[in-house]
Amino acid sequence: DTAVSQTPKYLVTQMGNDKSIKCEQNLGHDTMYWYKQDSKKFLKIMFSYNNKELIINETVPNRFSPKSPDKAHLNLHINSLELGDSAVYFCASSQGFPGPAHFGDGTRLSIL
Amino acid sequence: EDQVTQSPEALRLQEGESSSLNCSYTVSGLRGLFWYRQDPGKGPEFLFTLYSAGEEKEKERLKATLTKKESFLHITAPKPEDSATYLCAVQGGSGNTGKLIFGQGTTLQVKP
C-alpha cells in the first residue's frame, strides 16, 4: 500500500506547455506539501496545505498553482513551463506539528 | 535565517568501516530535527526525529544524536545496502506550518 503516491512519475514536455501533477495520501494526515529538488539534490519547500487551506506559499512564480480538493489530495498545476522548471517535484504529508513528513517518490519533470 | 549544512558531501567507506555524518543547523527555536534516507529515483524515507539536545535514537546500524548546534548520524559496521544519500532537516518555531529546511545531503557509498 503506497502511502503518498504521485502521478505521473515522469513528465517530458516542451517549453511553454501547461502540465499538472497529482498527489494522493492514504495516511489520514491533515497537512500536505510540495517540495522541489534541484539538480544538486537540494530539497526546498514550495507550498503547504492544512485541511485544504494554503498555509505556506514560498517565493514561487505565479505560474505554479496548487489546489487541494480535499485533505487527501494535493495537485500542482504549472503554466507556461520554462527550462528552469526542470527538477524533481515531491509531494509529502504530515500529521500535527512538529513531526516528520512522509514523501512520495517524486515526479521527474524535464523541459525540452 | 534558518539554515542546515551537512558534511561531508560525499563519503566512501569499506564494508564494516564505521563513520559519522554531520548536520549543523541554525534555526530560531528548534521544534524537531529529522534524518531521512534517499535512494536514487526514490523519495526521502523517514529515519529519525530528535526533539531536544541530548536525545539519541537508534535503528539497526544507525544512531542519531543531537546537540544544540548539530546532529550526528553514526553508522556502525556499514553494509553495501546502507549506500544512499542521507538528508538532515529541521523544523523551526516560526509558525505552526511543519515546514522542513533541508541540508544538501551526504552521499554515502559503502564498498564490499
CA distance from start to end of chain A: 34
Give one DSSP letter per residue of A23-80, joined into a string: EEE-S--SEEEEEEE-TT--EEEEEEEETTEEEEE-S--TTEEEEEEETTEEEEEE-S
| SS3 letters across B55-91 | CEEEECCEEEEECCCEEEEEECCCCHHHCEEEEEEEE
Cα four-point dihedral sign A1, A21, B42, B30: negative
User: pLDDT tens for residues B22-72?
Assistant: 999 999 889 999 999 999 999 999 999 999 999 999 999 999 999 999 999
Substitution target from B2, B87, B90, B97 for chain A, most A beta carbons within 10 A: B97
Instruction: Average the pLDDT over each of A86-90, A97-101, A108-112, B99-103 and give the range with the smallest value.
Output: A97-101
On chain B, the residues whose CB falls within 8 A of the CB of A94 are 98
Asked if B3 and B101 touch (Cβ cutoff 8 Å), the reply is yes
Q: Residue A1: what pLDDT?
A: 67
Q: Residue B2: what pLDDT?
A: 87
Residue B39, chain A, CB below 8 Å: the answer is: no
Q: Where are the alpha helices (DSSP H) in B7-52?
A: none
Q: Residue B98: what pLDDT?
A: 83
User: pLDDT tens for residues A6-47?
Assistant: 999 999 999 999 999 999 999 999 999 999 999 888 999 999
